[in-house]
Amino acid sequence: MCHKYPEFVHAHHILPLGVQFDLGLKYRVHDFSWLCPIHHRYVHMMISVYITDTRKGDFLGFIPDRAIEEWNAVERVFQKSFDLFTQHGGLHQNGRGYDYDYC
């Protein structure tokens, strides 16, 4: 995504293995995005807000204007996770399922 830390690149499972386990998938999906450690963390922060419901999304309202393009790139990677999650029948833990207001 950013190419800032190529020597420390992380392979991010588009649909994290823990989420796949929770969905009861018989066969693991090993689709990856290659991310620097910082952007990898940001994508997981989005996942914890919109998929696993383990974090409040308050911090999203405090993204500085100078970082908007960076977060738009993070959201594009996260959108792949969200799409794969719903494709495999994922329902948000808050019970709203496909109607969860991400967009």
Q: What percent of the chain has pLDDT over 70?
A: 86
Whole-number pLDDT of residue 79 = 93
pTM of this prediction? 0.80
Please give the Cα distance from 30 to 40 (Å, whole number).
16
Confidence of residue 16 (pLDDT cuts 50, 70, 90): very high
The confidence band for 91, taking pLDDT boundaries of 50, 70 and 90, is: low
* Predicted confidence band of residue 24 (pLDDT cuts 50, 70, 90): confident
Rounded to an integer, what distance in angstroms lies between the CA atom of residue 50 and that of residue 7? 30
Residue 16 CA to residue 3 CA, distance in Å, equals 22
